[in-house]
């Protein structure tokens, strides 16, 4: 082979002459795992609606409790209708407490319940379902036996008994109690999906080249089950909202401690003091009901829009660092 042929053969090899700096690598990582998923979410109108609503409640739970003082007894006129006195724009209850302040100060405990309970049920289900489905063997049989036992336990009576016995006051503990058995059904569903995924050709290829099990589970298996997991996460969050409101309304949860302010307490006060009888007091029921429905709707819309962020092709199209890199390579080639 001549020198000319050897030179031409090497023309097909592309070697990068520029090594990315540490700052550029960090920027690429942040873009791939943070900014690109956000751009994917923002490109979906359902996710935009969900993000705006969830962001609004996050502001209520952080800045709102700082701007608005806690509700005080006899702070204003009793049964003041909405939009009459801008000091109490949503009106007052039978004890002169502003409904807006009650609603705002009930938001942080509710968010803590949602985060703790939904993360607990989803995390336990993913751990047991993924490992059980991929590894199989004794762990699979033992974990599915445990799942079958948990699924036979009636969750509502168990939650009521625990709430009445323990009388939890910490919102995080309440969230854990409300989601104590919610992980069982999801773990079995995840196991079924993993059982079918582990026979896929790309999973077999990863095992053939000797990748660790943890890498295969995190890189190949988990992204394929995350859309369903996110739907369950949203459903768990909504279940915690309704369960906590119901238990406070029925009086099974204490009205003392960090979670005493709750929309269910507002509903109970309205119910016990004629909020359903007098049409002039319907706003008393309406304010917490709107808060509950709006937060639930925001979670539903966000859950419907999150399935696209786990698609690597869609996420790559929204990663600016990937686009910049491709344009740079194209310009160097030409």
219 and 312 belong to one structural domain: no
54 and 169 belong to one structural domain: no
22 found inside a domain: no
Residues listed for the chain: 334
202 found inside a domain: yes
Rg (CA), the chain: 27
Domain that holds residue 229: 113-243
CA distance 104 to 99: 9
236 and 121 belong to one structural domain: yes
What average pLDDT score do residues 285-311 get? 84
123 and 98 belong to one structural domain: no
152 and 94 belong to one structural domain: no
Whether 169 has a pLDDT exceeding 80, the answer reads yes
Look at residues 191, 208, 243 and tell me which one is the last residue of a structural domain.
243
Sign of the dihedral through C-alpha 27, 33, 38, 41: positive
9 found inside a domain: no
**Per-chain mean pLDDT for the chain:** 79
117 found inside a domain: yes
10 found inside a domain: no
70 found inside a domain: yes
Comparing CA positions, the residue from 322, 164, 183, 321 lying closest to residue 254 is 164
Cα dist from 114 to 118, 122, 130, 171, 295, whole Å:
6, 12, 23, 9, 11
The per-residue pLDDT for 317 is 59
The per-residue pLDDT for 32 is 61
Of the listed ranges 20-29, 218-227, 233-242, 281-290, the one predicted with least confidence: 20-29
Burial class (CB in 10 A: 0-12, 13-18, 19+), 202: exposed
The per-residue pLDDT for 290 is 92
Whether 272 has a pLDDT exceeding 50, the answer reads yes
Whether 139 has a pLDDT exceeding 90, the answer reads no
230 found inside a domain: yes
Whether 123 has a pLDDT exceeding 60, the answer reads yes
123 found inside a domain: yes
Look at residues 216, 243, 270 and tell me which one is the last residue of a structural domain.
243
50 and 91 belong to one structural domain: yes
Whether 154 has a pLDDT exceeding 90, the answer reads no
CA distance 27 to 17: 20
99 and 141 belong to one structural domain: no
Contacts 24+ apart (CB under 8 A), 208-213: 213/134, 213/135
DSSP 198-219: TTSHHHHHHHHTT--HHHHIII
Asked if 64 and 107 touch (Cβ cutoff 8 Å), the reply is: yes
Domain total of the chain: 2
Strand-pairing partners, residue 179, are: none
Asked if 132 and 139 touch (Cβ cutoff 8 Å), the reply is: yes
72 and 167 belong to one structural domain: no
For residue 290, which phi and psi values (nearest 5 degrees)? -65, -40
The per-residue pLDDT for 81 is 83
Look at residues 243, 278, 311 and tell me which one is the last residue of a structural domain.
243
Asked if 229 and 169 touch (Cβ cutoff 8 Å), the reply is: no
218 and 128 belong to one structural domain: yes
Comparing CA positions, the residue from 64, 63, 65, 89 lying closest to residue 76 is 89
Of the listed ranges 28-42, 122-136, 169-183, the one predicted with least confidence: 28-42
82 and 185 belong to one structural domain: no
218 and 118 belong to one structural domain: yes
What average pLDDT score do residues 320-331 get? 46
122 and 238 belong to one structural domain: yes
For residue 254, which phi and psi values (nearest 5 degrees)? -70, 155
The residue ranking higher by pLDDT, 288 or 35, is: 288
Structural element, H or E, at residue 193? helix 183-197
């Amino acid at each position: 082979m001549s020198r000319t042929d050897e030179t031409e053969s090497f023309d097909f090899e592309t070697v990068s002459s520029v090594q990315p700096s540490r700052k550029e690598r960090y920027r690429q990582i942040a873009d791939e795992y943070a900014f690109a998923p956000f751009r994917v979410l923002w490109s979906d109108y359902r996710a935009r609606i969900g993000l705006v609503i969830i962001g609004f409640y996050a502001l209520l739970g952080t800045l709102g409790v700082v701007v608005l003082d806690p509700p005080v007894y006899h702070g204003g006129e009793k049964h003041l209708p909405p939009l009459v006195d801008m000091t109490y724009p949503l009106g007052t209850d039978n004890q002169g407490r502003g409904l807006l302040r009650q609603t705002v100060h009930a938001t942080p405990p509710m968010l803590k319940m949602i985060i703790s309970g939904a993360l607990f049920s989803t995390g336990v289900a993913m751990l047991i379902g993924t490992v059980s489905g991929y590894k199989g063997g004794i762990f699979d049989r033992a974990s599915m036996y445990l799942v079958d036992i948990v699924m036979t336990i009636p969750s509502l009576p168990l939650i009521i008994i625990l709430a009445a016995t323990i009388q939890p006051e910490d919102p995080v503990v309440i969230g854990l109690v409300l989601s104590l058995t919610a992980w069982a059904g999801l773990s079995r569903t995840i196991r079924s999906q993993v059982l079918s995924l582990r026979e896929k050709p790309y999973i077999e290829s990863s095992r053939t080249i000797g990748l660790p099990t943890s890498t295969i589970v995190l890189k190949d298996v988990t992204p394929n089950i995350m859309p369903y997991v996110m739907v369950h996460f949203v459903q768990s969050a909504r279940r915690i909202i309704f369960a906590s409101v119901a238990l406070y309304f029925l009086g099974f949860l204490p009205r003392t401690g960090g979670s005493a302010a709750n929309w269910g307490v507002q509903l109970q006060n309205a119910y016990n003091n004629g909020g359903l009888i007098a049409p002039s007091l319907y706003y008393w029921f309406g304010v917490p009901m709107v808060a509950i429905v709006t937060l639930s709707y925001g979670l539903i819309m966000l859950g419907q829009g999150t399935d696209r962020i786990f698609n690597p092709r869609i996420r790559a199209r929204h990663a600016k660092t990937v686009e910049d890199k491709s344009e740079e390579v194209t310009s160097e080639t030409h």
